[in-house]
Amino acid sequence: MRLKALIVGLGLTCLTQDVVAQTSSSNSSAVSVQPGQRVRVHSVTLVAPLIANFLEQRGDTLVFIEDGRGRGVWSLSVSQIDKLELTAGRTGRSSSAMKKGALIGGAIGLAAGLLFSNSVDPSDPNKDFSAGPTGVVGAFAGAGLGLFIGSRMATERWVNIPLPQRVSFAPNGRGLSLSFSFR
């Protein structure tokens, strides 16, 4: 009889410790994102990063509402997520947008300058537009305009959010198993 009471008492103690460990670990596994915040989720299960609004966390599953035309609801477990990013607002004067604008504007300006020099005749019949210098002037003017337009393009900045690390204990048939998951 004492052996049965000892086993039941030991079992209740282990069960109580397991419940306490689960409730304390659920607080430590919470993601530091507030509901409604705009996030970008990178996952192996997604073709492209998901840009969505964070809805809630259910255990180890994060729920998102897609930001876009589909407006779908996505549920991903923390183990499926490779990287989680939070928006830090929009910023102007992105160097990549400025370079892209200058390149596109320069190409359009060069084409417009060459087209102008070959299709327009000056009023003096003894003179003619030379294609090279007119194309270069058009390219510089187009690049300047493209640089200005590119500087006005706002891009979104993203900040990495740390994902919770996992340590779990689980009883198996031969004893206790221990697993770690670090990101």
Instruction: Give the whole-angstrom CA distance, residue 87 versus residue 159.
Output: 6
Say what the pLDDT of residue 111 is: 94
Residue 102, Cβ density class (10 Å: 0-12 exposed, 13-18 middle, ≥19 buried): buried
What CA–CA distances, in Å, run from 74 to 22, 113, 170?
Answer: 25, 51, 29
Note the pTM of the prediction, 2 decimals: 0.52
**Residue 1 neighbours by CB under 8 Å, 6+ apart:** none
- Locus of tokens 């060069």: 110
Could you tell me the end-to-end alpha-carbon distance of the chain, in angstroms, rounded to an integer?
A: 49
Rounded-to-10 torsion of CA 106, 109, 110, 112: 160
Per-residue pLDDT in tens (0 to 9) along the chain, 183 residues: 666 655 655 554 554 444 444 444 444 567 888 888 899 999 988 888 999 999 998 888 889 998 777 678 888 888 888 899 998 887 777 788 889 999 999 999 999 999 988 888 777 777 777 888 989 999 999 999 999 998 888 778 888 888 876 555 556 666 666 555 555
Domains, the chain: 32-91+155-181 (2.30.30.520), 95-151 (no CATH)
Q: Contact at 8 Å (CB) between 39 and 84?
A: yes
CA atoms within 13 A on the CB side of 136: 4
